[in-house]
């Protein structure tokens, strides 16, 4: 009975009430490349949604409780505190203050023909990945389902207000490990993908992706609870030894167990088209750490047997995404291209992620609340990296002959390397089976010939 009310609230929020939470773009200081953001209005009331006591009571609450809800609560969970848009206009980072005063970040990315929102599921993260700014923060707490869903609605509202198409995709790749906040994430997924709850602003499950660094029991459970949702596994290293160095939580999860959970998920996944992949393997490229030819060969060996179900997403490291002494560096474009081609030459679909929002600390691995309490983000924000050309743009400019030479060299390297050991245990059984079948067919043919001769 609450779904019609929720659907009405979502529609009114996106198409009108949301504006009351933000100052106009000029007042907010939504400058290109990260202007000087200002604080926003304190919030909205139920009256801003056109909701009365009677409307709330229609959802099933007693009249006295409905009156208490309208008079003493807010229809929204979060207060917007900051908004910054990248210089090219492709990315906007939003900072929200939760009811307990803690803050989280949400990123809206505009690609050609689609818009994606990257939502957070926790304040901080306990996984401690060395190359991720969020991983250097302590875990403070979990978001509830409403706080996760509201990030999607804020993104919808911002795009609609600007005359752009609403959000088409959602990825759980913001702050936190989603599968460590499993109950809230599952509840949020069900609401985000339910037309009865969000109406025209819901998303098909096939356009929602949940990323995890590898919480094996929850990966297995996700395949049962949300088989239509996409899974992204943050692998980042092709061997157990190397993975433990850059992903501390890997010490509790053997690589074999992780890949088994990935296989179980892909087997249970409901693909929205026959050729759709069931999962994505994410791999952050760190110069001199995991970007060698050997790493590319090993990654190919792991993913080639799963090439029908899995694609590899390479992510060049974003500078400023860690507080580790000495830090990391992104590999040069030529190294990224070579790594991609070595993996692809083993029959794996590989894509290099286009990095967006680096100049506002909104790119992959950079979310660490680089905004001070007074709203001035400039002092704490990582140094802008607008001088770095995106790999995808760089590769488009390369001569066809140069691309062909790299591909040929990498294919030759793969051809000369030991391949992953194939499962040939079926060969003797098949040989014996074929021999029996041939003998039986010959005997049957001989008997038929004898009968005809008689």
pLDDT digits (tens, 9 = 90+) for 338-351: 999 999 999 999 99
Of 138-142, 356-360, 438-442, the least confident: 438-442
Phi, psi for residue 17 in degrees, rounded to 5 = -60, -30
Q: H or E segment at 53?
A: helix 53-57
> Is 105 a catalytic site residue?
yes
Of 105, 150, 298, 355, which one is the catalytic site residue?
105
Task: Note the pLDDT of residue 16.
Answer: 74
Q: Over 70: is that where the pLDDT of 432 sits?
A: no
Of residues 81, 77, 74, 86, the one with CA closest to residue 45: 74
Task: Note the pLDDT of residue 294.
Answer: 97
Task: Note the pLDDT of residue 2.
Answer: 64
Q: What is the pLDDT of residues 99-145, one digit of tens each?
A: 889 999 999 999 888 999 999 999 988 888 888 877 777 888 999 99
Q: What is the pLDDT of residues 359-410, one digit of tens each?
A: 766 556 555 555 433 343 333 444 434 345 678 788 888 899 999 999 999 9
Q: Which of 126 and 203 is assigned the larger pLDDT?
A: 203
Task: Note the pLDDT of residue 179.
Answer: 97
58, with CB counted inside 10 A (0-12, 13-18, 19+), is middle
Q: How far lies 86's CA from each of 30, 40, 202, 239, 353, in Å?
A: 10, 20, 27, 36, 17
User: For residue 250, what pLDDT band results from cuts at 50, 70 and 90?
Assistant: very high
Of 125, 132, 295, 364, which one is the catalytic site residue?
364
């Amino acid at each position: 009975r609450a779904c019609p009310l929720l659907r009405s609230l979502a529609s009114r929020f996106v198409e009108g009430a949301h504006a009351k939470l933000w100052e106009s773009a000029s007042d907010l200081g939504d400058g290109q490349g990260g202007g000087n953001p200002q604080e926003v209005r304190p919030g909205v009331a139920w009256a801003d949604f056109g909701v009365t006591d009677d409307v709330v009571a229609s959802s099933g609450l007693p009249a006295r409780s409905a009156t208490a809800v309208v008079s003493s609560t807010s229809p929204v969970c979060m207060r917007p505190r900051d908004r910054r848009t990248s210089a090219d206009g492709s990315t906007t980072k939003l900072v929200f203050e939760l009811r307990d005063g803690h803050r989280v970040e949400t990123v809206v990315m505009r690609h050609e023909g689609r818009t994606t929102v990257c939502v957070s599921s926790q304040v901080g993260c306990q996984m401690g990945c060395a190359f991720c700014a969020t991983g250097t923060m302590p875990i403070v707490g979990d978001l509830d389902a409403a706080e996760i869903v509201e990030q999607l609605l804020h993104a919808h509202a911002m795009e609609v207000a600007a005359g752009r198409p609403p959000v088409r995709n959602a990825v759980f790749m913001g702050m936190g490990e989603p599968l460590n906040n499993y109950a809230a994430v599952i509840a949020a997924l069900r609401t985000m993908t339910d037309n009865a709850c969000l109406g025209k602003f819901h998303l098909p499950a096939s356009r929602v992706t949940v990323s995890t660094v590898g919480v094996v029991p929850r990966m297995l459970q996700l395949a049962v609870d949300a088989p239509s949702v996409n899974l992204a596994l943050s692998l980042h290293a092709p061997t157990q030894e190397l993975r433990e160095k850059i992903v501390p939580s890997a010490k509790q999860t053997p690589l074999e167990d992780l890949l088994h959970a990935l296989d179980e998920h892909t087997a249970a996944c409901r693909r929205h088209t026959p050729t759709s992949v069931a999962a994505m393997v994410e791999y952050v490229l760190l110069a001199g750490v995991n970007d060698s030819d050997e790493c590319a060969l090993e990654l190919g060996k792991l993913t080639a047997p799963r090439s029908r179900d899995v694609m590899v997403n390479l992510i060049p490291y974003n500078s400023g995404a860690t507080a580790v002494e000495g830090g990391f560096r992104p590999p040069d474009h030529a190294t990224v291209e070579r790594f991609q081609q070595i993996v692809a030459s083993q029959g794996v679909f590989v894509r290099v992620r286009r990095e967006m929002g680096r100049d506002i600390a909104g790119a992959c691995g950079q979310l660490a609340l680089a905004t001070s309490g007074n709203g001035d983000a400039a002092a704490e924000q990582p140094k802008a990296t607008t001088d770095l050309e995106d790999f995808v743009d760089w590769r488009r400019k390369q001569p066809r002959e140069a691309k062909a030479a790299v591909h040929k060299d990498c294919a030759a390297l793969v051809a000369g390397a030991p391949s992953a050991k194939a499962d040939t245990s079926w060969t003797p059984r098949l040989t014996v089976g074929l021999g029996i079948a041939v003998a039986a067919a010959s005997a049957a043919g001989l008997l038929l010939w004898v009968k005809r001769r008689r």
